[in-house]
């Protein structure tokens, strides 16, 4: 039987039409397709604030993907909003925080993507750059904007990490972010770094599998076996 892989949902708010501000539950289809191609069964987890409901959502899955989108509210790590901060969604922050805490209690394998690496780091006590321009020496364009399946910059992989076992010492990634990990949370270590020093990957140092990357492997999985391998690794961890 294929393992069920939960994908944290998102909220999309209508900006016009009949119902301006109307909220819709969704995830990008690339996440769904990547899980299927990796041998899992995708299960979308809609955003909500009810801890009991979230417990039930997680009871039905074998592993978890933390999907991307909104900026993380900097007040969660003690900062006021930077002038370059993008859109935040407190409902999503609340949902993700409960999901992460409950998933760790249930010892579910976790893969974080883009926002996923950021909210994971914050939930466990780390901090973020609200914009890459805050990081000394950062010079790479970390948002390539409109072409999701084009790679744009290289990433150095730290030896003897989960990432290194499937990607070697270097890879090339797509990039759609402006926030980034600043101080790594206790219990995690860096597993990938861009040439300008921006952290591109972290993973747990304990025996529960948690791996997170700053790029979007779900947008590359169809033509890039390394990126598909990330999802295959999550499915394999779910089977143990």
* Active-site residue identified among 153, 177, 178, 216: 216
Query: Helix crossing, 90-105 with 51-59: angle to 10°?
Result: 50
DSSP string computed for 180-196? EE-SPPTTEEEEEE-TT
Determine the Cα–Cα distance for residues 25 and 45; give it in Å rounded to an integer: 9
H or E element, residue 103 = helix 90-105
Cross-strand pairs, 188: 204
User: Would you call 216 a catalytic residue per the annotation?
Assistant: yes
Marked catalytic residue, from 153, 177, 218, 221 = 218
The one-character DSSP state at 73 is P
Burial class (CB in 10 A: 0-12, 13-18, 19+), 211: buried
Catalytic option among 114, 132, 178, 200: 114
Tell me the pairing of strands 170-173 and 153-157. antiparallel
Do 101 and 198 contact (CB within 8 A), yes or no?
no
Residues 6+ positions from 67 with CB-CB distance below 8 Å: 7, 8, 9, 10, 27, 28, 31, 113, 114, 115, 116
Q: Is residue 89 among the annotated active site residues?
A: no
Q: Does the active-site annotation cover 146?
A: no
Q: Indicate which residues carry an active-site annotation.
A: 114, 216, 218
């Amino acid at each position: 039987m294929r393992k069920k892989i939960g994908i944290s949902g998102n909220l999309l708010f209508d900006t016009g039409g009949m119902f301006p501000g109307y909220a819709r539950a969704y995830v990008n289809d690339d996440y769904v397709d990547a899980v299927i191609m990796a041998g899992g069964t995708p299960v979308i987890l809609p955003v909500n604030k009810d801890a009991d409901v979230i417990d039930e959502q997680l009871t039905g899955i074998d592993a978890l993907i933390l999907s991307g989108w909104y900026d993380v509210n900097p007040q969660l790590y003690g900062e006021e909003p930077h002038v370059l901060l993008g859109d935040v969604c407190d409902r999503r922050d609340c949902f993700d925080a409960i999901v992460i805490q409950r998933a760790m209690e249930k010892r579910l394998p976790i893969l974080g993507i883009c926002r996923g690496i950021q909210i994971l780091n914050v939930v466990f006590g780390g901090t973020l750059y609200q914009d890459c321009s805050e990081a000394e020496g950062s010079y790479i364009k970390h948002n390539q904007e409109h072409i999701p399946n084009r790679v744009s910059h290289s990433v150095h992989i730290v030896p003897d990490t989960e990432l290194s076992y499937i990607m070697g010492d270097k890879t090339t990634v797509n990039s759609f972010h402006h926030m980034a990990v600043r101080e790594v949370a206790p219990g995690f270590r860096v597993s990938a770094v861009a040439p300008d020093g921006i952290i591109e990957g972290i993973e747990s140092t304990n025996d529960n599998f948690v791996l997170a990357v700053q790029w979007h492997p779900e947008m590359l999985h169809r033509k890039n076996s390394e990126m598909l391998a990330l999802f295959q690794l999550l499915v394999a961890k779910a089977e143990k």
